Structure 1
Amino acid sequence: MTQLSDFLEHDDARRVGPDDLVSWKADLLAKGLKAKTIRDCKLAPVRAIFQWAVDNRKLDANPAARINIDLKARSSEKRRGYTDDEAKIILRAARTETEAHKRWVPWVCSYTGARISEICQLRSEDIKQIDGIWCIAFAGEAGSLKNVNAERVVPVRSALQNEGFLKFAASVRKGPLFADLAPDRFGSRGRTGTKILSRWIRSLGVTDKRISPNHSWRHRLKTPVVVMG
């Protein structure tokens, strides 16, 4: 419900209509979420909550009652990972950026497969050595994660170290790594960063509709990762 509210930019259930749910569904698809995830983890719980409101005379109708999604996707519409050329365009462009989130978030995405929102909310204390190995710890204390299994520790790849990420992290003595990202009205830097970086990646000419600026790094990890020179 918080995600829906954030998308609609209001939290008044009485103002929500079927068209709003259809638009939200389309936005989730554009962000690379699987149809089954949208059906079972987004639309279904929202529908149930609205139905509770109807049953308890809080609302006159359930705006999500007949909103569903076809689980069959045509191959031409399936989300895909970045190609080597697309990855190079983004990573090379990031090298020229002075804003910390544009400079480092794409690189961390490329070499960890983590979600953009997870990276944007990292803190300096989340970059640590464990048994002599530099790691990134994705912890619930830093901000909202998709589920309990999303709490994990990922080694910092040598290519990311050579790029200078650890030096950057060490320069932030305490608190958010990307303090240049303003939290949204729910206090989330992750959602702010997701929106900004999506627009930035599209501005670089990566415009294929099958590309999800956020999730295509994750799709890409199913194939060999390009090493930037």
Structure 2
Amino acid sequence: MPAVSVPTPAAKPVTFEDLSAGWAAEKRPAAKTLYEWSRVVRQFTAFLGRTDAASVTPDDLIAWKEAMIREGRRPKTIRDAKLAPVRAILQWAVDNRRLKENPAARVSMDVKSKVAESIRSFTDQEAAFVLKAALAEANPVLRWVPWLCAYSGARVSEVCQLRTQDVVQVDGIWCLRFDPEAGPLKTASSERAVPLHLAVLDSGFLTFAQGIPSGPLFPKLKPDVFGKRGGNGTKVLGRWVRGLGLTDERLAPNHSWRHRLKTLGRRHGLAPDLMDAITGHGRRTVADSYGEYEMSALYRELMKIPMLNLPERPEAPCVPDR
């Protein structure tokens, strides 16, 4: 009697939706990251016209990359915001035996930084102009966030989510404490306490902070859809700075304060490891992880940066030559 052939059941498609859900359940990304990566995956599958991840080839990824180049997207955006999320989710699938190989593993985007595209610091003139304008603002976000960023190098998102209990004394020195309980921080080294510069204290910040009831330092700044005050704070401050006439695209209305503090650290000879501790950058060497970073040492270094002389009649600064 001849053998009966039993048909092999068709393999169940490995959908990007299932892979994204599995990746998210294990990695537990921030809500904003999950939203943005899910959107990128939808963009990729819409370009492909199919959702079966097992059918994706390196040629598909290259075709998507070329399409984005033709659309005029910036190389860094293509590499970091588009290809990287898809590659990471596909690699999770390989690591968890959902796929045999990662078709995006060797698909990359050459990114060459141009001087005209790199973020620069606020100049002394620009910084004085913005801080002088902030003094006239009734909105606490516009009044205080630029000052706190200017003299601490903190990220705007970190400052916007501060609570009244995060303005504290450590070893007799007034500080800002960046605590993950107040909101998400970018890295582990972002959790820190930073001394308040005398310029901030002299401008009356403590009086303001101590007059706010327990809770958010900027309670009228509404959280965004991800529950972060920094999201809306970044937009409010960005529009305000641009409205002052500072339109140079190399100038990031918020992040250029962080660049400026690094510039000032080099100008005035701040110890690099203490500078990193102030800004919340990761340790550079194993030696940097030895010992403690005492608040008195951080304050000593920060106070090497002099106060800005604010103009009596602020005028829009000239844009530096490219």
Q: Which band: TM-score by shorter chain?
A: 0.7 to 0.9
The partner residue of 1:102 within 139, 142, 145 is 142
Q: Could you tell me which of 235, 250, 255 is aligned with 1:195? A: 235
Give secondary structure in 2 for the equivalent of 1:106. Answer: helix
Residues 2-46 of structure 1, C-alpha deviation per residue, up to 9 Å, x if partnerless?
A: 4356569xx556633369x889x85987xxxxx9xx74x995355
The alpha-carbon deviation at position 127 of structure 1 amounts to: 0.2
User: Is 1:227 paired with 2:256?
Assistant: no
Matched residues in 1 for 2:172 and 2:250: separation? 40
Which amino acid in structure 1 is aligned with residue 128 of structure 2? Answer: K
Structure 2: distance between partners of 1:209 and 1:13: 25
Aligned length: 214
**Residue 3 (structure 1) aligned with residue 32 (structure 2):** yes
Query: Conserved in 2, the CA contact under 8 Å of 1:99 and 1:180?
Result: no
The TM-score normalised by the length of structure 1 is: 0.78
Give the letter aligned to residue 74 of structure 1: K
Question: Shift in Å at residue 75 of structure 1?
Answer: 2.2
Equivalence for 1:183: 223
Tell whether the 8 Å contact from 1:16 to 1:63 is kept in structure 2 after alignment.
Answer: no
Say if 2:116 is the partner of 1:76: yes
Superposition pairs of residues 69-218 of structure 1, within 5 angstroms? 70=111, 72-218=112-258
Contact 1:81 / 1:219 at 8 angstroms: preserved in 2?
yes
* C-alpha separation in 2, matches of 1:142 and 1:28: 31
1:74-132 CA distance string (max 9 Å, x none): 22322110011111221111111111111100000000000000000000000001111
User: Given residue 210 of structure 1, which amino acid in structure 2 is its aligned partner?
Assistant: R
Write the distance in 1 (CA, Å) between the matches of 2:190 and 2:35.
21
What is the match of residue 15 of structure 1?
42
- In 1, Cα distance between the equivalents of 2:158 and 2:225? 17
From the CA coordinates, give the structure whose radius of gyration is larger. 2
Contact 2:134/2:143, CA 8 A, preserved across alignment: yes
Q: Is the 8 A contact 2:165 2:214 kept in 1?
A: yes
Gaps of 5+ in 1: 30-34
State the shift of 1:194 in Å: 1.1
SS at match of 1:137: strand
Specify which structure has the bigger relative contact order, considering alpha-carbon pairs within 8 angstroms and separated by 6 or more residues. 1
Q: Is the 8 A contact 1:46 1:64 kept in 2?
A: no
Fraction of identical pairs, as percent: 46
- For 1:158 and 1:74, how far apart are their aligned partners in 2? 37
RMSD: 3.5
The whole-number CA distance in structure 2 between the counterparts of 1:3 and 1:187 is 9
Q: Secondary structure at the match of 1:118?
A: helix
Q: 2:120 & 2:217 partners in 1: Cα distance?
A: 29
Q: 1:187 to 1:204 in 2, by over 3 A?
A: same
3-state SS in 2 of match to 1:76: coil
Contact in 1 for aligned 2:40/2:85 (Cα 8 Å): no
Task: Report the residue type matching 2:109 in the other structure.
Answer: N
In structure 2, relative to structure 1, the CA distance for the partners of 1:181 and 1:44 (3 Å cut) is: same
1:162-217 deviations in Å (ceiling 9; x for gaps)? 00111111011200001111111111101111121111111111111111112111
Q: Give the CA deviation at 1:222.
A: 2.6
Gaps of 5+ in 2: 1-28, 45-63, 265-304, 311-322
SS at match of 1:134: strand
